[in-house]
Amino acid sequence: MNSNNAPTDLDLLLNARAASGFSEPIFDHMDGGLDLNQHIIKHPAATFFVRAKGEPMLDAGIFAGDLLIVDRSLTPKDGSIVIAVLNGELRVKRLKIISGKCFLQAENKLQQILVDSIEGFQFWGVVTHAIHDVCVSRL
């Protein structure tokens, strides 16, 4: 909503029920607007969007083309999905800490990268949400 509480084009319906049939109009069940900034972005000044590329995180539910919401203010911990800079490229991987050493792991292959030995490695942010298009044109 904008400053005078009028709905904007970017507001989404909150708590609208979507039936699989056409038995009742969806607009009978609207409870208000939804601003994604209020609900999924906790640190706006430190939050960025990154588009996923490739298929290394399929088993984590992240697919090529997904929009990743990344919070740079969060400290990565064991099990976090992170964006890391490796050899000058942004990579999305799961952080594993084993015996005090940091590893980055893909989620569709058992590939691990020991990051303690990579010069110029840095964490760029923690992935907090992945948004993907569920409307595929396979019909």
Burial zone of 124 (CB within 10 Å; 0-12 exposed, 13-18 middle, 19+ buried): middle
**Reduced to 3 states, what is the DSSP secondary structure of residue 85?**
strand
Buried b / exposed e along 3-24 (16+ C-beta atoms within 10 A): eeeeeeeeeebeeeeeeeeeee
For residue 95, give the nearest of 109, 84, 85, 86 by alpha carbon: 84
Domains (range + CATH), the chain: 1-40 (no CATH), 44-131 (2.10.109.10)
pLDDT in tens, the chain (139 residues): 444 454 443 444 444 444 455 555 555 555 666 677 777 888 989 999 999 988 878 889 898 889 999 999 999 999 999 999 887 888 899 998 888 888 888 887 666 666 766 666 788 999 999 998 776 554 4
- Residue 8 has what pLDDT? 41
> Is 93 within 8 Å of 57 (Cβ atoms)?
yes
> Are 68 and 128 spatial neighbours (Cβ–Cβ below 8 Å)?
no
Q: What is the pLDDT of residue 82?
A: 95
Give residue-wise pLDDT tens across range 84-118.
988 788 889 999 888 888 888 888 766 666 676 66
Q: What is the mean pLDDT of the chain?
A: 75
pLDDT at 117: 61
